[in-house]
Structure 1
């Protein structure tokens, strides 16, 4: 049993004065000694927080006590170490950047794909008239994905609207979308419906819930998560590794960030190449003057970089974050 809990959740629900809510919510999280990352927008909440079981329980109870977030579903992991170093809660225009000029063109509270529970998704995914669509970014599906899933060449979800035209060939089929926790599918399925796709579904609770309730069957590799764990196992039925080391091609599921802060690329790298290249994606990145110290994890927290005193007033102090 893990010493701590890590909670993954989201909720699409309008928040009045969301910017002030973010400030107040940050203080509340700190009062519970939680660490994590929460995005607050007018459209709702998107967060991952980590803390003691008691603190996480108190947090979930408080969120559910607010009528706006009563429907929030938490995915709970038991972990040996806290999944973050600090607590961040920030206001942004959207809890998931849709890439739309007018994000209000879609509203997950009004229209999204049919939510499929994990067992239903598992039964449908292999049918002849079904297309399983991964709506995550390249670095996410490169380390793990469902067997025979359609993946898109995207560096970020905001590119999804531009990729929909590539899916025209699948109109007339049932489209089963999936992502890590379900939040991206809410907007992806809404966009597909808006563009004329008729039979659109989404894996409720995403890969994480599928792993907990359906054993992760037929999910190859690991699931990328946005905290210090980087990836987690989800398949206890027929697990496999699908990713390879970018540098030598050896099969590996380890994903890191390049130690060069200006690069910071997500990529898979075996331990041998990690040691040889000091956590960098290439020899070129090894020469960067602010190359971060590689501790074997490839996970870096935000730290201030040194700036000459006479330049402080002339430009902002840059920071790099995973």
Structure 2
């Protein structure tokens, strides 16, 4: 059996961190000492990260995190990968570990109240019941490329818009609400907010779509799962896989998601290969004409390169990657 040399870890942990800014700086140096790459957000409320490196380095990282009593219960989702899923290592302090605008711990605190956690097989057993509504709490670009069969999706560009959409869910107050997201972190606050707003029976998929794919075969998850690293999307369903996303330009069924080649647009969108080459990796003719349009190489991934840039070296890069906006 082929064993991958590298792994990618997805995780989060809501646990108070004193002097979080200082912790972020020291944690960054620790990650670099292991030659890890990735993106970690540190806030007073906890950690949210995706890191990638050799299997040995990832094992040492998980052991170190679990050795800290604050993070002892952190649940790591582990993927074997052929190459590291990031270019660099970032560990930054931010007000929240997932941007929701719900920063007051006296109002929304996942450590005190959140939806009932369902393990993947429990979620699978409940999801098709008549008294159940499956709620996708992710953004448009995420659920456009993949979602659970019959899931309710919301028209949001970023999770911080979720609180404004709760009123649209009033019709489901008498049902069991099963929330889900990529790795579980958004559901912690989404389910807590639903409970605060009077929803009585709220659940969340523990470990999110990623864990569901690993432990329940991904049954009835249609399409691919958007991830916040250079892979962009990953397969989830090994039971009854299908493709649900379509090309933004021509409407053809396609699982491929890219970033617009216009750096000032940088929209996440699905685009077939034919339109990709015809549109030069852009979402519109307007973006095609932008003076700073990046060269499209068929992947639609772009790395943020600090100035000054050696244009000759950039043009020779074979695998351009992009840095997603936030981990999940």
**TM-score class, shorter:** over 0.9
Alignment deviations for residues 59-82 of structure 1 (CA, whole Å, 9 cap, x no partner):
000000000000000000000111
Q: Corresponding residue for 1:240?
A: 242
Question: Does structure 1 conserve the Cα–Cα contact (< 8 Å) formed by 2:257 and 2:271?
Answer: yes
Greater RCO, CA 8 A, separation 6+? 2
2:299 partner SS: coil
Secondary structure in 1 matching 2:269:
strand
Pairwise CA distance, 1:142: 0.3
Say whether residues 1:302 and 2:271 are aligned partners.
no
Distance 1:141 1:157 in 2: 12
The aligned residue for residue 312 of structure 2 is none
78, 81, 105: which is aligned to 2:80? 78
Structure 1 vs Structure 2 CA RMSD: 1.3
State whether structure 2 residue 37 is matched by structure 1 residue 35: yes
Matching residue of 1:173:
175
Distance in 2 separating the partners of 1:30 and 1:305: 23
After TM superposition, where is structure 1 displaced by more than 3 Å over at least 4 residues in a row?
100-104
- Deviation of 1:304 after TM superposition, in Å, equals 2.7
What is the SS of the residue equivalent to 2:179? strand
Aligned residue number for residue 314 of structure 2? none
| Structure 2 gap segments, 5+ residues each | 310-321
Q: Does 2:161 align with 1:146?
A: no
Q: State the TM-score, normalized to the length of structure 1.
A: 0.94
The gaps in structure 1 that reach 5 residues or longer are 308-319
1:215-234 correspondence runs (5 A): 215-234=217-236
Matches of 2:270 and 2:252, distance apart in 1: 10
Aligned equivalents of 2:278 and 2:43: distance in 1?
A: 42
Distance 1:165 1:56 in 2: 42
Measure the CA separation in 2 of the matches of 1:101 and 1:182. Answer: 18
Once the 2 structures are TM-superposed, how far is the Cα of residue 321 of structure 1 from its aligned partner? 5.1
Give 1:2 shift: 2.1
Report the count of equivalent residues: 310
The answer on 1:134 being equivalent to 2:147 is no
Q: Any idea what SS the aligned residue of 1:304 has? A: coil
Query: Do the aligned partners of 2:95 and 2:103 also contact (CA within 8 Å) in 1?
Result: no
